Amino acid sequence: MHPCSFEVPRAIIERLKEEKQGQSRDLPLFLIMNALRPRKDISRMITPTRRPALFLDRDGVINKEVHYLHRIKDFVFIPGVFDTCRMFQNAGFALIVVTNQSGIARGYYSEEEYHILTRWMIERFDEQGITLTDVMYCPHHPKGAVPQYRVQCSCRKPKPGMIVGACARHGIDPAASIMVGDKFSDIQAGRSAGIGRLVLVHSDYEINLEEAQQAHHVAESIGHSSFQRWVFQDDIAVAR
């Protein structure tokens, strides 16, 4: 079994602090032991120990699409993303990023470079009063150039491993949750994990009619007013 990567924001922050002090150590990688099959009878009841989540792909959803993004200078937030995330946070949702990072397996950048960029992104959310519950990434690709990452894993979307793992780890109710992505693989992963609402947003990737029909909603972006209206005026995002 190969590790699927869970990244805890506070752990990254502590790691970077240690680096500044010359006491660097490896970040833990948590294992998803099994990618559970989607459950057909998941209750939509939200309890104090089982809350909804807004699952977000990163590139094309949180930031503008840049192929194999790994440098801070190339990271541009989608307009309105902070406002939308704040609305969900205030409504009681966990905010969880689930991102394929095959650039690591392809040798385009290292996990360390990925961690540095992610730390910077988390800090920008913190400055806006927004806490990311988790940032999860898959560094694998079956045809990767780096041997240790050249694997068939259960976490790379469209497989649901990252989402299933997050639900188990954070007490998430998948049927009451929302998945937002800019590619059909995001929708497939969300559906396989039993996520209740699936949203496609426009980016550099073309969305065809067949793919759009698999989503519950198609929006210009997560920060667009049409997405916010769809979620909150229709009482979709109401955590109890």
Which member of 26, 41, 57, 204 is catalytic? 57
Rounded CA separation 62/85 (Å): 10
Tokens 């007490």 found at? 171
Active-site residue, from 59, 173, 182, 186: 59
Active site residue 57: yes
Distance from first CA to last CA of the chain, Å, rounded? 37
Nearest to 64 by CA among 52, 56, 79, 76: 76
Cα-flanking dihedrals φ and ψ of residue 124, to 5°?
A: -65, -40
**Which amino acid, residue 226?**
S
Residue 59 annotated in active site: yes
Are 162 and 88 in contact, with CB atoms under 8 Å apart?
no
For the beta carbon of residue 47, count every other beta carbon within 10 angstroms: 10
Query: Which active-site residues does the annotation give?
Result: 57, 59
